[in-house]
Amino acid sequence: MTAPAHNENQDYALLASGDGRKLERFGRFILDRPAPQAIWEKSPGPWDQASATFQRGEGGSGQWTTIRGLDQDDGWPVLFHTMRLELRLTGFGNVGLFPEHAAHFAWMKRRLLRRDKPRVLNLFGYTGAASIVCALAGAEVVHVDAAKTVNAWASLNAKACEVPRSSLRLLEDDALKLLRREARRDSKYDGILLDPPTFGRGPKGEVWKIEKDFAPLCAALLPVLSEQPAFVLSTSHSPGVSGSVLETLLAPLRGEVESGEMLLTGSGPPLPSGFYARWIPGP
């Protein structure tokens, strides 16, 4: 199954793709970034109008070049899925937003709106878009990321979206350690989000490798789920961690799992942009 493609007419658009690249509009800027899955011939688009171009180096990091009208040290605002978010150019080619995740936002909101004061745990929460969606749907959200700077970015986004302080708690922590502490405290959540990186480091230098550490993390989810949970949503941008892999990791939760590929649509062919698995409790 393929997640519904995101094509809302706000401040994001996929303008073109091909030859291992993608051209996207984020607000008033056009960015040219790598897309290894776009192995087809480059589709027509305003490639020569890119505000910035990212070239990847070794280890995932790289460099932005051809920067026009955009200060690499400053952010800029966009409206995305009713949220006001700040984007920035980062050394890994990311900008603080994964637009393909928007395909899940409406689904999460529908699941949460059926609940009275649901609790949501967002592991690897990044700059907070999914946390903000859940908080604005009435959930109490615990947002976890190992990077202090990223949590500060998420806090900035939450303030711009007028998320009540009581609805969002930002934690700098190791995901697995936090899950185990929450289990000991008998702390329960109605929804859990996971968007793990391929490689990362915890706040105390803990090394994260998805092929080694993700399965134990998924195994630790069950003790912190409420008696009648709303969902578990896992997404992946890691090569080899496909929708079927995510589905297998969530299957022990004993419910219904659907999995598939996330797509971005716009001008040119649909662009595969990662995988997902969505779990809900069985009847």
Query: What's the rounded Cα separation, in Å, for the pair 125 and 186?
Result: 22
Domain coordinates of the chain in residue numbers? 12-87, 99-281
Query: What's the rounded Cα separation, in Å, for the pair 159 and 234?
Result: 26
| Other beta carbons within 10 Å of 85 | 28
pLDDT attached to residue 4: 47
pLDDT attached to residue 6: 46
pLDDT attached to residue 163: 97
pLDDT attached to residue 273: 97
pLDDT attached to residue 207: 80
pLDDT attached to residue 206: 77
pLDDT attached to residue 3: 54
Q: Which of 21, 22, 19 is nearest to 265 (CA)?
A: 22
Query: What's the rounded Cα separation, in Å, for the pair 204 and 73?
Result: 26
Query: What's the rounded Cα separation, in Å, for the pair 23 and 271?
Result: 11
Q: Each residue's pLDDT tens digit in the chain (283 positions)?
A: 655 444 444 899 999 999 999 999 999 999 999 999 999 999 999 999 999 999 988 766 799 998 888 887 789 999 999 899 999 999 999 999 999 999 999 999 999 988 889 999 999 999 999 999 999 999 999 999 999 999 999 999 999 999 999 999 999 999 999 999 999 999 999 999 999 998 877 777 778 889 999 999 999 999 999 999 999 999 999 989 999 999 999 999 989 999 999 999 999 899 999 999 999 998 7
pLDDT attached to residue 61: 79
| Other beta carbons within 10 Å of 102 | 25
pLDDT attached to residue 68: 87
Beta bridge pairs of residue 121: 142, 192
Query: What's the rounded Cα separation, in Å, for the pair 78 and 163?
Result: 17
Right CATH for 12-87 from 2.60.40.1180, 3.10.180.10, 3.20.20.150, 1.20.1090.10:
2.60.40.1180
pLDDT attached to residue 203: 76
**Domain range 99-281, CATH architecture:** 3-Layer(aba) Sandwich (3.40)
| Common-topology check for domains 12-87 and 99-281 | no
Give the gyration radius of the chain's Cα atoms: 18
pLDDT attached to residue 1: 61
CB 276 within 8 Å of CB 104? yes
pLDDT attached to residue 259: 97
Query: What's the rounded Cα separation, in Å, for the pair 51 and 67?
Result: 5
